[in-house]
Structure 1
Amino acid sequence: MKRIFITLLLPFCTLITLAQTKGKKATATKKTTTQKTATKVTFNNSLDSASYAFGANMASSMKNDGLGSLNYDLLIKGLKDAFEGKTLLISKEQAQQPISNLFNGLSKKKFAVNIAEGKTFLENNKKQAGVQVTPSGLQYIVLKAGDGIKPKVTDTVLAHYKGTLLNGKQFDSSYDRNEPLSLPLNRVIAGWTEGMQLMSVGSKYKFFIPYHLAYGERGAGQDIPPYSTLIFEVELLKVNGK
């Protein structure tokens, strides 16, 4: 490309030199901006308009998730290879991992404040009197010791609880509803599954749950943002068995 440009430039330079030799007045050089004429797109049929709509909708959705751009050449190749039945460069089984990695990275960047806030809180909290820490990172305080049986992971339990964010905002409370919750321990967040197995019936604990043992990178609804460290006060009322 450089050679072509230089070749085209040489005759122009020669003309300028000849003009100066003949004593012609130099004229002021004006900067010109070359504008590319936008190619007009025409939808000839419903397939054309639907194709464009697919692309626009996909991009809008991904942009809302924090993605700013893609390698468009590889995007188009992936679409064509799949439609044409060619052997894919990444199998369907492998495809989810790079997509997850990409969006997890974007999410961590977007919610970096939440992650840092949780980490700082937990580092300071574990130094407080009475706070115990499990190998998984779960922190807890025994507010009231019970003397009943302890549940197993396969059990269903009856519990009262209150959940708050680090800023003190309450997002849920069975006390406010005046109705304890019955739940199977193998179908709740990991922090509850682990923590409640430490409790005896009649006890009340306060749990400090890091995001990876709570709702992780997704959060939960509008009340629990992604990467939120959560605080729960939980009272174990009864173990119902399996």
Structure 2
Amino acid sequence: LAMTTAFADTNTTAPSTTTPATAATPATLNTDIDKLSYSIGADLGKNFKKQGIEISPSAMAKGLQDGMSGSQLLLTEDQMKDVLSKFQKDLMAKRNAEFTKKAEENKSKGEAFLSQNKSKEGVVTLPSGLQYKIIEKGNGAKPTKDDTVTVEYTGRLIDGQVFDSTDKTGKPATFKVSQVIPGWTEALQLMPAGSVWEVYVPASLAYGPRSVGGPIGTQR
């Protein structure tokens, strides 16, 4: 069996909201400690920017200096605990809002794609919402849910981005029909051995609202 799978969604990336910090006078990195200190700071800065976390580099440097020197801190332990707790709650709320927004966008785009795709020549739409197009007809037996199959496949998002493919390993994949996403399980049982199909899988038959990371994301 050979399958070219198109998942009904698109990849979106939320813009960073990090406010650029005012550039400080470049330090001279003469010692290993200087280089280590700078590397740690640069790594933290890149991570904060990537996550959209806004901080004050000067205040952070002051806190680091006071904490390491044992100087009188500008906030009490309880105050810092409250600040960090609020930060965690706000960050979680922001992440959840971004997740929900992206999921809704992907779901809407996926539904629009399937709605247009179903009218294309050769595309068959099943009651479940799964769509497929036969590229090459196979003459072998159709597998059952309990069978193990060997397939070659390429998985793409609806924008054409490839997120997985047996081409990467140079060899087919072998798995049990019941141990893949529902859309594949349904399609595989309809495909005679030797078939080549394009299968268009709605989010509800793929990964749904859960995020699997990478380009697939959520509602794909």
TM-score tier, shorter chain, comes to 0.5 to 0.7
Deviations 1:202-237 (A, max 9, x none): 111110111111111224321112122xxxxxxxxx
Within 5 A, what are the aligned runs for 1:55-204? 56-66=87-97, 107=100, 109-204=101-196
Number of corresponding residues: 147
Distance 1:52 1:129, change over 3 A: same
What SS is found at the alignment partner of 1:157?
A: strand
In 1, the alpha carbon distance for the partners of 2:127 and 2:104 equals 24
Which protein is bigger by CA-based radius of gyration? 1
Question: CA shift at 1:54, angstroms?
Answer: 4.8
What SS is found at the alignment partner of 2:77?
A: coil
Structure 2 segments unaligned to the other structure (5+ residues): 1-73
Question: CA shift at 1:144, angstroms?
Answer: 1.0
TM-score scaled by structure 1?
A: 0.54
In 2, the alpha carbon distance for the partners of 1:64 and 1:219 equals 12
In 2, the alpha carbon distance for the partners of 1:156 and 1:51 equals 54
Structure 1 segments unaligned to the other structure (5+ residues): 1-39, 68-105, 229-242
> Which of 58, 73, 77 is 1:43 aligned to?
77
For the aligned residue pairs, the C-alpha RMSD in angstroms reads 2.4
* Equivalent in the alignment of 1:17: none
Amino acid at match of 1:43: E
Deviations 1:82-140 (A, max 9, x none): xxxxxxxxxxxxxxxxxxxxxxxx61x33433222211111111111111111110000
TM-score scaled by structure 2?
A: 0.59
Q: Percent identity?
A: 35
In 2, the alpha carbon distance for the partners of 1:171 and 1:59 equals 32
Larger RCO of the pair (alpha carbons < 8 Å, separation 6+)? 2
